């Protein structure tokens, strides 16, 4: 018999999928614009689908090898009964994550053309279409994550005290695919972008998105495969990992709450999905208005409704203890944290505030000062988020302790994480809106649409840049909390395996300290490899474009450049260059765990996470700030386009590209991957 709570989850997910289907049908029936627009859009679609197909083939091979490893680890450490189950959960998680990425990408490449067409008449409509495109992704990804966890839980026996330890395979599968999806997509998108800019804008002196540049289509494809597919997989994984981590902590509370404590996280996420649906439907574009206003309003509606649902959810599932209100407060901490993270990111990446203004000012004395200032801003952005994460952990732990139940403190942090992830579907909608608007802008530009249409798209594109930055802030904030749960899940898992309490990770012992040092190092090394992969792949793109530019007919605009050739080269480069960093971050922790054992590995994991969170903030925010400083100058400040300040700002922006769209987001995934990896391979480390 299925629990009522599980039924609620499944029903809400079905509603969300139905809503997504309705939105999609409505969207697909819209006008597809001029033939020229369709031509561009079709090229993007073909390129994106070709990349995704090849990318997932590569990922599938590595995934299957790992499935065998997981099976073997359990089989040969005397846990034959778990071997098949864990490997099964892993494969389901990996498959769901892949589907989530493909869905996000497919919707995006169909929405961009319709947004471009709508922009011919109305910017309100263009916002509606692009945001709904994002919403479809958000709804599908979130419900797939919840359904995946719930159905796997049921399929694996639905025993509240043992099943949570088995479905960690699902979380690892999701992380694994997310890593490669984000890394490969991130390399692709920025190699194409940097390559197109350097060889087009800098060398040949033609504008961005100029049809003569053979790398433009690859650049537009990149937005889809990097931003849409990548972040889709990232937040899919966050939800899955957080749910599983919280369920494992719930096992410790089984004597108090029974199965309710274990199902609590997924129920709350489902209620959050419901709140997000209301928020999504409240967003309505208005001609001439700032698109951010409508989206921000929708966000606050989602957050407030989530808080209300949180109250009732806590009362329903955890109300059997007298101090349950404290769990509600802990959940509120998570919701408030999500709002704070968005505000802080806005401050650091929006041109209305000091940091971006300072970078724009510094551009007047050249690229060096632009970059020095931007990098210093990036380093600075670690301060407030770290204080916020620290305060949230302490506060939610304290609230949890006030409930008076054993392990209540830890469960308080789980409830805070749940609170933060309730708004996830809405955030995903905002996030995917960004690349759709970006793509629609590119289509408008390349199809030679009139000036007013371009202007309409510019404001939407700027909003997209902002939402992309904001949602990265949210992703890293929620990842920090989720990972803290996973640490504790790992320790619970080790304790279960060894039959001995494992609640101390002694940083003062030499192996743990060395593990911690190597964990922090891995994060920097991984970022190095990710950034290097972009510049290597960009180099191939540049060479391919240069060859075509030697053809005078292409430069004269009388012959169409060979877009497919550049797409092909970018695809190959991105896939080749994602393998080394990917294998490093899987192999190195296994090596540490096997040689230095579980406590040193815990030190490794925790300090890698701390460093990963902070480095991701630095990379995301400095990149976002450079980008917006450039856009601010392009809007006319400091001499506007073509000025010396603008040239300097373009260099800063180019540097920021691999920071904010390759290395930064890949780090989000990395920290969750490390946590799920250690969890699933725990038997190796004891």
Near a copy of itself in 14-43, by CB under 8 A: none
Query: Least distance in Å: CB of 632 to a copy of itself?
Result: 18
Torsion, CA 479, CA 482, CA 484, CA 488, rounded to 10 = -150
Q: Is 393 in the site for a copy of itself (CB under 8 A)?
A: yes
Q: Which of residues 357-376 bind a copy of itself (CB under 8 A)?
A: 362, 365-369, 371-373, 375-376
671 binding a copy of itself? (CB under 8 A):
no
Q: From the CB of 129, what's the least distance to a copy of itself, in Å?
A: 34
Do 222 and 189 contact (CB within 8 A), yes or no?
yes
For 396-410, give the DSSP string: HHHHHHHT-STTHHH
Please answer whether residues 111 and 436 qualify as being in contact, where contact means their C-beta atoms are separated by less than 8 angstroms.
yes
Give dist(CA 664, CA 345) in Å, integer. 14
Q: Which residue lies nearer to a copy of itself by CB, 333 or 449?
A: 333
Give the shortest CB-538-to-a copy of itself separation in angstroms: 8
Measured from the CB atom, the residue of 309 and 326 that comes closer to a copy of itself is 326
Give residues 222-241 in contact with a copy of itself (rule: CB under 8 A): none
Contact pattern for a copy of itself over residues 320 through 339, marking x by CB under 8 A: --------------------
Complex with a copy of itself: residue 44 or 667, whichever CB lies closer: 667
Between residue 408 and residue 467, which ones bind a copy of itself under the rule CB under 8 A? 409, 413
Q: Using CB under 8 A, which of 324, 341, 397, 563 touches a copy of itself?
A: 397
Tell me the C-alpha distance between 614 and 659, whole Å.
13
Q: In the complex, what is the shortest distance from the CB of residue 172 to a copy of itself, in angstroms, rounded to a whole number?
A: 21
Per CB under 8 A, which of residues 182..201 are in contact with a copy of itself? 194, 198
Whichever of 99 and 520 has its CB closer to a copy of itself, that residue is 520
Give the dihedral sign, CA 136/141/142/147. positive
Can residue 406 be called a binding residue for a copy of itself (CB under 8 A)?
A: no
3-state SS, residue 647: helix
Residues 276-315 that bind a copy of itself (CB under 8 A): none
Task: Determine which residue in the list 56, 176, 299, 487 makes contact with a copy of itself, applying CB under 8 A.
Answer: 487
Q: Of 295, 194, 338, 336, which Cα lies nearest the Cα of 627?
A: 194
Give, as ranges, the residues between 609 and 638 that touch a copy of itself (CB under 8 A): 610-611, 613-614, 618
* Complex with a copy of itself: residue 508 or 556, whichever CB lies closer: 508
| 532 touching a copy of itself, by CB under 8 A | yes
Near a copy of itself in 576-615, by CB under 8 A: 602-603, 606-607, 610-611, 613-614
Q: Which two tokens stand for residue 433?
A: 């809106």
Closest CB to a copy of itself among 195 and 291? 195
Q: What gap in Å lies between CA 392 and CA 480, rounded to an integer?
A: 11
| CA–CA distances in Å: residue 30 to residues 115, 129, 130, 521 | 9, 9, 12, 50
Distance linking the first and last C-alpha atoms of the chain: 36
Structural contact between residues 570 and 224, judged by C-beta atoms closer than 8 angstroms: no
1 binds a copy of itself (CB under 8 A): no
Q: Is residue 377 part of the contact set for a copy of itself (CB under 8 A)?
A: yes
**Residues in the chain, total:** 686
Categorise residue 35: left if φ over 0, alpha if ψ from -120 to 50, beta otherwise. alpha
The least distance separating a copy of itself from the CB of residue 351, rounded to whole angstroms, comes to: 19
Tell me, what DSSP letter sits at residue 500?
A: S
State the Cα–Cα distance between residues 144 and 147, nearest whole angstrom: 5
* Binding region for a copy of itself (CB under 8 A) out of 294-302, 314-322, 379-387, 422-430: 379-387
The answer to whether residues 275 and 338 touch, using CB atoms and an 8 Å cutoff, is: no
Distance, in Å, from the CA atom of 202 to the CA atom of 613, rounded to the nearest integer, reads: 34
Q: Is 511 in the site for a copy of itself (CB under 8 A)?
A: yes
Identify whether the C-beta of residue 464 lies closer than 8 Å to the C-beta of residue 123: no
Alpha-carbon span 57 to 59, nearest angstrom: 5
Candidate residues 61, 84, 394, 580; the one interacting with a copy of itself per rule CB under 8 A:
394
Does 505 bind a copy of itself (CB under 8 A)? Our answer is yes
Nearer to a copy of itself, 134 or 515 (CB): 515
Does the footprint of a copy of itself cover residue 527 (CB under 8 A)?
Answer: yes
Closer residue to a copy of itself, CB minimum distance, 129 or 484: 484
């Amino acid at each position: 018999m299925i629990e009522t709570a599980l039924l609620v989850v499944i029903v809400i997910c079905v509603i969300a999928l139905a809503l997504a289907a309705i939105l999609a049908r409505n969207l697909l029936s819209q006008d597809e614009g001029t033939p020229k627009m369709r031509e561009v859009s079709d090229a993007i679609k073909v390129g994106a689908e070709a990349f995704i197909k090849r990318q997932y083939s590569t990922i599938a091979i590595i995934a299957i090898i790992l499935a065998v490893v997981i099976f073997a680890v359990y089989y040969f450490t005397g846990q034959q009964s778990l071997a098949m189950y864990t490997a099964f959960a892993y494969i389901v998680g990996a498959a769901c994550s892949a589907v989530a990425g493909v869905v996000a990408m497919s919707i995006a490449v169909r929405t961009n053309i319709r947004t471009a067409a709508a922009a011919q008449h109305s910017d309100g409509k263009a916002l509606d279409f692009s945001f709904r495109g994002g919403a479809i992704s958000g709804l599908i990804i979130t419900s797939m994550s919840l359904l995946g966890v719930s159905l796997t839980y049921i399929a694996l026996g639905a025993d509240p005290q043992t099943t949570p330890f088995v479905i960690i395979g699902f979380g690892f599968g999701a992380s694994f695919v997310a890593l490669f999806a984000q890394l490969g997509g991130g390399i692709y998108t920025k190699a194409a972008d940097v390559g197109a800019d350097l060889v087009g804008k800098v060398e040949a002196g033609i504008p961005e998105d100029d049809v003569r540049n053979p790398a433009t289509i690859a650049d537009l494809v990149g937005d889809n495969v990097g931003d849409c597919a990548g972040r889709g997989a990232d937040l899919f994984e966050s939800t899955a990992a957080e749910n599983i981590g919280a369920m494992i902590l719930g096992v410790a509370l089984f004597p108090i709450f029974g199965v309710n404590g274990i199902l609590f996280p997924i129920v709350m996420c489902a209620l959050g999905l419901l709140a997000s649906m209301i928020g999504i439907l409240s967003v309505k574009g208005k001609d001439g208005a700032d698109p951010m206003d409508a989206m921000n309003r929708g966000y606050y509606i989602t957050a407030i409704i989530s808080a209300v649902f949180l109250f009732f959810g806590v009362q329903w599932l955890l109300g059997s203890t007298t101090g349950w209100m404290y769990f509600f407060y802990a959940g509120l901490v998570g919701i408030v944290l999500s709002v704070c993270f968005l505000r802080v990111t806005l401050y650091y990446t929006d041109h209305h505030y000091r940091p971006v203004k300072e970078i724009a000012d510094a551009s007047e004395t050249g690229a060096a000062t632009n970059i020095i200032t931007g990098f210093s801003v990036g380093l600075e952005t670690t301060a407030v988020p770290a204080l916020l994460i620290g305060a949230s952990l302490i506060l939610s732990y304290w609230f949890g302790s006030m409930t008076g139940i054993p392990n209540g403190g830890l469960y308080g942090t789980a409830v805070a994480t749940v609170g933060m992830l309730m708004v996830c579907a809405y955030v995903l909608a905002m996030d995917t809106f960004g690349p759709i608007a970006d793509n629609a802008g590119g289509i408008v530009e390349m199809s030679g649409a009139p000036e007013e249409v371009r202007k309409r798209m510019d404001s939407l594109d700027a909003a997209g840049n902002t939402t992309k930055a904001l949602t990265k802030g949210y992703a890293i904030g929620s990842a920090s909390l989720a990972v803290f749960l996973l640490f504790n899940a790992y320790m619970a898992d080790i304790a279960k395996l060894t039959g001995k309490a494992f609640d101390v990770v002694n940083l003062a012992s030499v192996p743990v300290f060395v593990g911690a040092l190597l964990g922090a190092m891995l994060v920097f090394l991984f970022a190095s490899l990710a950034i290097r992969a972009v510049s290597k792949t960009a180099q191939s793109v540049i060479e391919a474009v240069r060859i075509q530019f030697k053809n005078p007919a292409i430069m004269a605009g009388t012959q169409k450049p060979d877009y497919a050739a550049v797409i092909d080269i970018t695809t190959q480069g991105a896939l080749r260059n994602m393998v080394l960093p990917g294998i490093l971050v899987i192999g190195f922790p296994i090596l540490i765990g096997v040689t230095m054992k579980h406590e040193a590995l815990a030190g490794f994991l925790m300090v890698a996470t701390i460093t990963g969170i902070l480095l991701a903030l630095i990379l995301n925010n400095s990149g976002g700030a450079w980008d917006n400083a450039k856009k601010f100058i392009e809007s006319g400040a400091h001499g506007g386009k073509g000025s010396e300040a603008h040239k300097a700002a373009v260099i800063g922006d180019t540097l920021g590209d691999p920071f904010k769209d390759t290395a930064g987001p890949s780090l989000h995934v990395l920290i969750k991957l490390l946590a799920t990896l250690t969890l699933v391979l725990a038997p190796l480390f004891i």
